[in-house]
C-alpha cells in the first residue's frame, strides 16, 4: 500500500507499554516499520511531525457497516432488540452493491478518522433482496473490499454463513438475501472469493452468524473451511437470553456447548458478545483459547446486558473490541466502557490498566482479525498507527507520561489527529486525505437509502 518510504517523528509514542518522548518511526516501501528510535530530540529534515500521543492503529474487530445508516433512527422512543432488528432488516433490503459501496466507503473513512486501521466486517448481505444471486456471486463482499481500499483501511471480510431464521426454521422474507441454501454452497462461494486477488489491504475470514442461523449439522463445515484456509472464524454468541432458551429447547444445551460439540471453538475463533454465559460456558471458551470480542456501546444501546469480560479473560480468553452497530464509532470509548461496565457490575475499580485496555484495542484486535503483524510500533510490524491529541479540552492537563491513561479514560474519537496505514498518511490533522468531506459522504449515502 505504501508507495514511498516516509519518516514520522512522534512527540510521544506508546512503545511496549511505556510512553516515550521524541520517537522517530521510519517506514519502508513495503508498508512496514523499518526502524523505531526513541528520544530523537528533533525531527530530521523531511519528517512528518505527529503531535500528541502516537499509538498502534486501533482494530475494530466487529462491524456491520450498513448499521451505520440506523444511527439516530433506532434511538427514537423505546423498543427492544427485536424491534431494532425489524428496522435493520428493512434497511438491509434496500442495499445494492453500488449503494453499499458508497455507504461503506464513508463508514470506513469515519473509522480511519477515529484512529481505526483495520476492520472486521461481519458480512451476510450476500445476494439480491429476494435471494437471487448476482451475476458476480460475491458482488456485495467485493464492494466492501473496494470501499475499504478507497478509504485507506485494512479489512478482514468475515463472510458469514446464515441459513435459517431460527432453530429448524427457514429464512424469513428479509433473510433470503443472507442465505446460500447450505453450508456447502456457502463454502463454495467463499472459496471463489478467497481465490480472487483483493490487494494487500484485504483478507477473507469466515463467520457463523449464530447457532440459531446455522443448523447444528452444518456448523462443522464452516469451521473446517476456516481451518483449511487458516482464516479467522467469528460467531455471534449468546447475545440474547432468548437465543439461549431456544437452543436449550432445540438441543438441550447452551450455544457455547453446541459450538464446542461441533468443533467450532479454538484459538482461531472469536465469539462476539458472549453476554449471557454459564460458568461451564466460560470454562469451555477459556479452556479452548477462544477469543471474545466485546462491543459495549452496542450492548448498552440494545440493552443486551454486561458480559463477563474479566471472568472470560481470567479463564484464558483473549479480548478484542468492536463497534458493531455503530451507535458510535469510537474504539477508545469501547475500551473505556469495558472497564466502566465491569465496575458497575462488580462495584469495584481497576479490572484492567490503561495499557491493558490499549492492547485490547490494538494488538489483540488485530490478531483476532488475522493481522498478527499489526498492533505494535516496532521494526518489522505493519506501519499502522494513529496519533491522539493531548491538548484538547478533554486531554489537556495530565503529564505526557500518563498518555495511555488520558487516551483511554478521557479522549474520544474527536481527539484523533493522524492515522497512518501501511506508511500512508490517511488522516492528516483530522482531515481524511482520500475521501473528501466525509460527513457529506455519510449523509448522502444514507439519504439515498431512504428514497
How would you classify the pairing of strands 416-421 and 269-273? unpaired
What is the gyration radius of the CA atoms in the chain, in angstroms? 21
List 324, 330, 341, 384, catalytic entry = 324
- DSSP H or E segment with residue 7: strand 6-15
SS3 at position 63:
strand
User: What is the rounded CA–CA span in Å between residue 46 and residue 103?
Assistant: 36
How would you classify the pairing of strands 424-428 and 416-421? antiparallel
Residue of 214, 196, 64, 95 lying closest to 136 (CA atoms)? 196
List 62, 67, 123, 273, catalytic entry = 273
**Could you tell me if residue 278 is left (phi over 0), alpha (psi between -120 and 50 degrees) or otherwise beta?**
beta
Task: At 394, give phi and psi (nearest 5°).
Answer: -90, -30
b/e code 123-140 from CB counts within 10 Å (16+ = b) = bbbbbbeebeeeeebbbb
324 is known as an active-site residue: yes
User: What is the rounded CA–CA span in Å between residue 228 and residue 190?
Assistant: 12
Question: Residue 217: is it exposed, middle or buried by C-beta count within 10 angstroms (0-12/13-18/19+)?
Answer: exposed
User: What is the rounded CA–CA span in Å between residue 360 and residue 367?
Assistant: 10
Strand order in the sheet with 385-388: 33-37, 18-27, 6-15, 48-56, 385-388, 416-421, 424-428, 431-432
228 is known as an active-site residue: no
Q: Which three cell numbers, joined as nine digits, stand for 361?
A: 484495542
Catalytic (active-site) positions: 273, 324
Amino acid at each position: 500500500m505504501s508507495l514511498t518510504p516516509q519518516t514520522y517523528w512522534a512527540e510521544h509514542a506508546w512503545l511496549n507499554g511505556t510512553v516515550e518522548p521524541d520517537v522517530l518511526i521510519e517506514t519502508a516501501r513495503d508498508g512496514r516499520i523499518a526502524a523505531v528510535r526513541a528520544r530523537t530530540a528533533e525531527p530530521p529534515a523531511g519528517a512528518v511531525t505527529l503531535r500528541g500521543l502516537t499509538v498502534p492503529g486501533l482494530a475494530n474487530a466487529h462491524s456491520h457497516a450498513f448499521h451505520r445508516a440506523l444511527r439516530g433512527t433506532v434511538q427514537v422512543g423505546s423498543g427492544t432488540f427485536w424491534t431494532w432488528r425489524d428496522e435493520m432488516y428493512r434497511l438491509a433490503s434496500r442495499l445494492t452493491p453500488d449503494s453499499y459501496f458508497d455507504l461503506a466507503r464513508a463508514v470506513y473513512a469515519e473509522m480511519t478518522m477515529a484512529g481505526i486501521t483495520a476492520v472486521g466486517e461481519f458480512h451476510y448481505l450476500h445476494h439480491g433482496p429476494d435471494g437471487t444471486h448476482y451475476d458476480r456471486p460475491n458482488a456485495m463482499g467485493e464492494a466492501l473490499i473496494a470501499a475499504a481500499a478507497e478509504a485507506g483501511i485494512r479489512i478482514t471480510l468475515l463472510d458469514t454463513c446464515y441459513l435459517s431464521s431460527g432453530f429448524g426454521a427457514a429464512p424469513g422474507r428479509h433473510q433470503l438475501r443472507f442465505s446460500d441454501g447450505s453450508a456447502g454452497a456457502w463454502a463454495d462461494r467463499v472459496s471463489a472469493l478467497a481465490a480472487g486477488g483483493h490487494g494487500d489491504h484485504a483478507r477473507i475470514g469466515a463467520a457463523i452468524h449464530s447457532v440459531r442461523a446455522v443448523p447444528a449439522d452444518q456448523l462443522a463445515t464452516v469451521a473446517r473451511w476456516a481451518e483449511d484456509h487458516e482464516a479467522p472464524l467469528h460467531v455471534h454468541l449468546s447475545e440474547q437470553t432468548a437465543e439461549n432458551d431456544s437452543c436449550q429447547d432445540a438441543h438441550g444445551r447452551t450455544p457455547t456447548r453446541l459450538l464446542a460439540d461441533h468443533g467450532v471453538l479454538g484459538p482461531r475463533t472469536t465469539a462476539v458478545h458472549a453476554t449471557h454465559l454459564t460458568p461451564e460456558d466460560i470454562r469451555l471458551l477459556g479452556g479452548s483459547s477462544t477469543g471474545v470480542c466485546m462491543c459495549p456501546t452496542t450492548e448498552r444501546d440494545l440493552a443486551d446486558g454486561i458480559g463477563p469480560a474479566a471472568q472470560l479473560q481470567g479463564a484464558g480468553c483473549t479480548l478484542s473490541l468492536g463497534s458493531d452497530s455503530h451507535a458510535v464509532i469510537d474504539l477508545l470509548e469501547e475500551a473505556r466502557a469495558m472497564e466502566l461496565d465491569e465496575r458497575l457490575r462488580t462495584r469495584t475499580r481497576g479490572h484492567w490498566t490503561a495499557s491493558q485496555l490499549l492492547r485490547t484495542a490494538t494488538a489483540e484486535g488485530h490478531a483476532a482479525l488475522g493481522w498478527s503483524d499489526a498492533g505494535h510500533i516496532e521494526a518489522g510490524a505493519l506501519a499502522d498507527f494513529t496519533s491522539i491529541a493531548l491538548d484538547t479540552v478533554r486531554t489537556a492537563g495530565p503529564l505526557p507520561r500518563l498518555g495511555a491513561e488520558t487516551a483511554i479514560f478521557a479522549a474520544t474519537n474527536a481527539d484523533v489527529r493522524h492515522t497512518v496505514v501501511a506508511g500512508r498518511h490517511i488522516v492528516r490533522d483530522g482531515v481524511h486525505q482520500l475521501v473528501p468531506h466525509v460527513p457529506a459522504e455519510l449523509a448522502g449515502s444514507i439519504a439515498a437509502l431512504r428514497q
